[in-house]
Amino acid sequence: MEIKNLGQTDFETLFSCFEKAFFDYEISFGKEEVRSMLKRRGYDPALSFAAFDNGAMVAFTMTGTGKYGGLPTAYDIGTGTVPEYRGQDIAGRIFRYSVPILRSAGIRQYLLEVLQGNRKAISVYRRMNFQVTRQFDCFRQEADRIVGSGGNDGCRIMPVAPDAVRQAQGWCDFNPSWQNSMDSIERGGRDLIALGAFLNGRMAGYCVFDPGTGDLTQIAVSGECRRKGIATRLLHEASGRMTTGSIKVLNVDSGCTGMRAFLESRGIPLASTQFEMALPIL
């Protein structure tokens, strides 16, 4: 068994192993969704690692790099092991191999998300001294099953630049997760659409979404313009442009009851829950 970085590994090889490793996972991912995931989450092949048996990839950890909470961070985009190699601590060996390399690269914390129902993985992470930092709720629905009216028809909906979204980050009720952060939005580039809702010439709300994956990355309304149907209007605008025919809102901070109430009132139910976990790398 050989462990090495993924710097020379092509996407098709990586996706083939990913597909095998996650075939029985609670959530399924298509090829273009994985490609988008790597792009938006800051995939760094030189700091991503895999185990190979006789030249065949059998386990991997895909790593994104950037800053989170002001610290240089390595983010676990996805860790998986193909079924016939499970139970051999291969993922653990990859992790232990990677930490000194991450440290040498200036990384100061390791961040990941894990489904709350995945007790086995959680127990492994706890043994590695990861601590839960937040709990997230994830919501999904078919676009044509979103309920309620189209929202405020008196506001003007227009595309906006990432700078406008960055300047409005204070409207969010919680700090976005790694995959929904401003850095992730900027990495996504033209794959994402950002819309602003304008009242009397001023932006009163915005949303950012990926029409190719159905991902509603951010949606927020300024404090003085809430309860005027603006978020509902933005939600309908976004859902109508999803080429997937569905919408998902991932990693809503579980403490943000307002967002949960809004989504459920529009017929978008809770689909899964996750823990955000972090480990200092000193």
Q: Which residues contact 163 (CB under 8 A, 6 or more apart)?
A: none
112-137 average pLDDT score: 94
216-231 average pLDDT score: 97
Q: 43 falls in which pLDDT band (50, 70, 90)? A: very high
> What are the phi and psi torsion angles at 235 (to 5°)?
-60, -45
Q: How far apart are CA 260 and CA 160, in angstroms?
A: 25
Tokens representing residue 238 in the block: 């976004």
* DSSP character at residue 254: T
Mean pLDDT of the chain: 95
pLDDT tens sequence across 129-183: 999 999 999 999 999 999 988 889 999 999 999 999 999 999 999 999 999 999 9
Q: 63 falls in which pLDDT band (50, 70, 90)? A: very high
Has residue 25 got a pLDDT over 80? no
What angle separates helix 31-40 from helix 11-21, to the nearest 10 degrees?
110
Q: How far apart are CA 263 and CA 259, in angstroms?
A: 6
Q: How far apart are CA 237 and CA 151, in angstroms?
A: 10
3-state secondary structure of 110: strand
Identify the pLDDT of residue 236. 95
Has residue 282 got a pLDDT over 90? no
Identify the pLDDT of residue 26. 67
Residue carrying structure tokens 């300024």: 222
Neighbouring CB atoms inside 10 A of 158's CB total 12
pLDDT tens sequence across 45-58: 999 999 999 999 99
Q: How far apart are CA 160 and CA 280, in angstroms?
A: 37
Contact criterion met (CB below 8 Å) for 248 and 140: yes
Q: 98 falls in which pLDDT band (50, 70, 90)? A: very high
Q: Smallest Cα–Cα separation from 112: which of 273, 271, 275, 253?
A: 275
Looking only at the bridges linking them, the beta strands covering 109-115 and 49-53 are: unpaired
